[in-house]
Structure 1
Amino acid sequence: MKRLPLLPLLLVSLPLIACAQAPRVTTPTGGPTSAPVKVATVPRTPAPAIAAPRSIVVDYETGRVLYAKNADQPCAVASTQKLITALCVFDAGNLNKKFTIAKSDTWVEPTKLGILPGEVYTRRKLVGALLVKSGNDVARALARDNAGSEAKFAAVMNRKARSIGMKNSNFLNPHGLTAKGQYSTARDMAICAREAYKNPVIRSITNTRSYTFQYANGRTKRLTNTNKVLKRLSYCNGMKTGTTRASGRCLISSGTLNGRTAIVVVLGATTQTVWNDSEKLLRWALERPASR
């Protein structure tokens, strides 16, 4: 029998050996396929520890909750509820309408702008003072102009709250001073804040660091925004502070960075912690890589 040369046999067998050693992955249908490619994912950064007893962080565009701590616990929310007061004023329209301040508008403490009975202002001008300096007399004046009385305006506020999806809130006045039976939650106030942020005028007002308010008699006063996070973070762009003995220190803040906007609600904090808590949560929401 004639023997075949060894080299041609090796050349023929090498491809067969290579094929036999190649890894094969079987698909659910039984056919071969390529091995899956691993895609690197960005690990989620844990939310920072905060001192406030109630808080929530939401993505503005989607409403997705990024972080929550006792977010459905009812509590007093102080002047942060002036955001819903502003929404109701905007719903009424005609912001350039002028109206006269009544004596009853001034029967409120402690934070007042000092408007006087008989003075005439536009709704727009007073909404600015309401959101930047949080005047309680301004809130009463806007409520009376809108609905005839503070009690009737509370009904307007509650209808507005229900219409935008706030399910665990009950408002009794336009300024947020403590009242038995008045409450909201961090989750509901985030819903309110998202609605307010949609309004370009409200968004612009709450982003105002300071401005000069002119009284009806020509006197002027420099109003500085009560939200200190505006000065701490360049990308913070609103929204509203609040404080009473019952509520503690409260802050709703918003920020936009790299095309993303987040809203942070912190309720029941202290003077020492409210700014740090809010800043930490805004940084965590916007400076970390976006999760997939």
Structure 2
Amino acid sequence: MESVRRSRFLGHWRLWTALLCCLCTTAVAAPTKKKKSSSKSSSAKKSQTARVKRPAPPPEPEFLPGGIPATRAAAVMVIDARTGEVLYEKNADERRAPASTQKLLTALVVAEGGYLDQPITILPSDTYAEPTKLNLKAGDSYRRIDLLRALLVKSPNDVARALARDRAGSVEAFAVAMNNRARAAGANNSFFINPNGLPAPGQYSSARDLAMIARAGYANPTIRSIVSLPSMVFRYADGRTRELENTNKVLKRLPYCNGMKTGYTDAAGSCLISSASRPGRDVIVVVLGHTKPRIWTDSAAFLTWALTRDPPLAGRVP
């Protein structure tokens, strides 16, 4: 039975990664119509086209006994998004820096506050955030919903500060709201100090708590619709536009992945909360303290395993 599950799993994996590589090659090598040029130019173009290589496929997942994907991540939590059932866990209660994955909680507090079409006027203090930012300018105004989309797609820290200050009056007051909402979601092993996940003494969460927070976010229609966006166009107050690509690379790798949020700091390592859905099943995977590009492979492997397991299996790391 185990070998059958593993063969079926790898069959799904190889098919989807092959399709991904094919699509990437097509995008890179697709010709564009241009005016006729000299034979020398044509020759150079042919030589350039000939050098286009198919992207290397992601590494295949490894397995634990029972067909569960193996991972070198520091902590992992896999749950059924509908029931909250734990499907797999590894160091799930270990306190860790959550990095930008906690922006999912920031977004949830903002979304549940409503009035998302109301404008926010940017203050100078909102812009004091590094390193990832949209370079918002003090005095400019944006709708809450537009900043919320940018927050979850591209993860800018200045946007997180603006949303937090606007919603609660200050970043400090917003942190109180974050902690209250986390407790309401069942996350009792976390403490949040800022809205963006930048390192702060005493700020921590766990894979289990982030899974509970993610489940609450997954149940929110606004959050769920935004985290599934592969990209978006952000319009600045002066009319300029900028295309923002989702930082979650699993969205492009697996057709059934529908969110959720990435994170990285030196202290936290690479982190990812991801979700996926098939008829009758919705799952959430939290991976903390990993490395790139392996985090994409392992997260995709856990999503695939959780959705295709038959009969349902629950696992704890040996």
Q: How many angstroms apart in 1 are the aligned matches of 2:279 and 2:310?
A: 10
1:211 deviation in Å?
1.2
Q: State how 1:44-83 maps to structure 2 within 5 Å.
A: 45-83=66-104
1:254 deviation in Å?
0.2
Q: Could you tell me which residue of structure 1 aligns to residue 276 of structure 2? A: 255
Query: Quick one: which of 185, 190, 197 aligns to 1:164?
Result: 185
1:113 deviation in Å?
1.1
Which of these two proteins has the greater Rg computed from alpha carbons? 1
The 3-state SS of whatever aligns with 2:70 is coil
Is 1:209 the counterpart of 2:261? The answer is no
Query: Quick one: which of 221, 244, 254 aligns to 1:223?
Result: 244
The 3-state SS of whatever aligns with 2:285 is strand
Given that 1:55 and 1:69 are in contact with CA atoms closer than 8 Å, whether structure 2 keeps it comes out as: yes
Is 1:118 the counterpart of 2:139? The answer is yes
Q: Could you tell me which residue of structure 1 aligns to residue 122 of structure 2? A: 101
Relative to the length of structure 1, the TM-score reads: 0.84
Q: Deviations over 1:104-139 (max 9, x none)?
A: 100110000111101101111100000000010000
Q: Deviations over 1:142-162 (max 9, x none)?
A: 011011111111111001111
Question: Counterpart amino acid of 2:308?
Answer: E
Query: Quick one: which of 232, 243, 256 aligns to 2:264?
Result: 243
1:286 deviation in Å?
0.8
Given that 2:111 and 2:222 are in contact with CA atoms closer than 8 Å, whether structure 1 keeps it comes out as: no
The 3-state SS of whatever aligns with 2:255 is coil
Query: Quick one: which of 126, 136, 149 aligns to 2:157?
Result: 136
Given that 2:111 and 2:223 are in contact with CA atoms closer than 8 Å, whether structure 1 keeps it comes out as: no
The 3-state SS of whatever aligns with 1:131 is helix
Q: How many angstroms apart in 1 are the aligned matches of 2:105 and 2:75?
A: 20
Q: How many angstroms apart in 1 are the aligned matches of 2:189 and 2:141?
A: 36
Q: Could you tell me which residue of structure 1 aligns to residue 254 of structure 2? A: 233
Question: Counterpart amino acid of 1:251?
Answer: L
Question: Counterpart amino acid of 1:206?
Answer: V
Q: Could you tell me which residue of structure 1 aligns to residue 35 of structure 2? A: none
Is 1:266 the counterpart of 2:259? The answer is no
Q: Deviations over 1:208-263 (max 9, x none)?
A: 00111101110000000000000000000000000001100000000012321110
Q: How many angstroms apart in 1 are the aligned matches of 2:312 and 2:228?
A: 28
Cα distance change of structure 1 residues 113 and 290 upon mapping to structure 2, 3 Å threshold: farther
1:47 deviation in Å?
1.0
Structure 1 or 2: more helix by fraction: 2
Q: Deviations over 1:132-189 (max 9, x none)?
A: 0001000000011011111111111001111111100000000000001000000000
Q: How many angstroms apart in 2 are the aligned matches of 1:284 and 1:206?
A: 21
Query: Quick one: which of 302, 308, 316 aligns to 1:281?
Result: 302
Given that 1:257 and 1:287 are in contact with CA atoms closer than 8 Å, whether structure 2 keeps it comes out as: no
Q: How many angstroms apart in 2 are the aligned matches of 1:99 and 1:46?
A: 49
Given that 1:45 and 1:288 are in contact with CA atoms closer than 8 Å, whether structure 2 keeps it comes out as: no
Given that 1:52 and 1:273 are in contact with CA atoms closer than 8 Å, whether structure 2 keeps it comes out as: no
Moved more, 162-171 or 43-52: 43-52
Q: How many angstroms apart in 2 are the aligned matches of 1:62 and 1:91?
A: 21
The 3-state SS of whatever aligns with 2:69 is coil
Query: Quick one: which of 148, 154, 158 aligns to 2:175?
Result: 154
1:45 deviation in Å?
4.2
**How many residues are treated as equivalent by the alignment?**
251
The 3-state SS of whatever aligns with 1:249 is strand
Given that 1:151 and 1:173 are in contact with CA atoms closer than 8 Å, whether structure 2 keeps it comes out as: yes
Given that 2:277 and 2:307 are in contact with CA atoms closer than 8 Å, whether structure 1 keeps it comes out as: yes
Q: How many angstroms apart in 2 are the aligned matches of 1:273 and 1:72?
A: 22
Given that 1:80 and 1:176 are in contact with CA atoms closer than 8 Å, whether structure 2 keeps it comes out as: yes
In the alignment, structure 2 segments of 5+ residues that lack a partner are 6-64, 314-318
Q: Deviations over 1:8-66 (max 9, x none)?
A: xxxxxxxxxxxxxxxxxxxxxxxxxxxxxxxxxx9894311111010010011110000
Q: How many angstroms apart in 1 are the aligned matches of 2:259 and 2:266?
A: 23
Q: Could you tell me which residue of structure 1 aligns to residue 106 of structure 2? A: 85
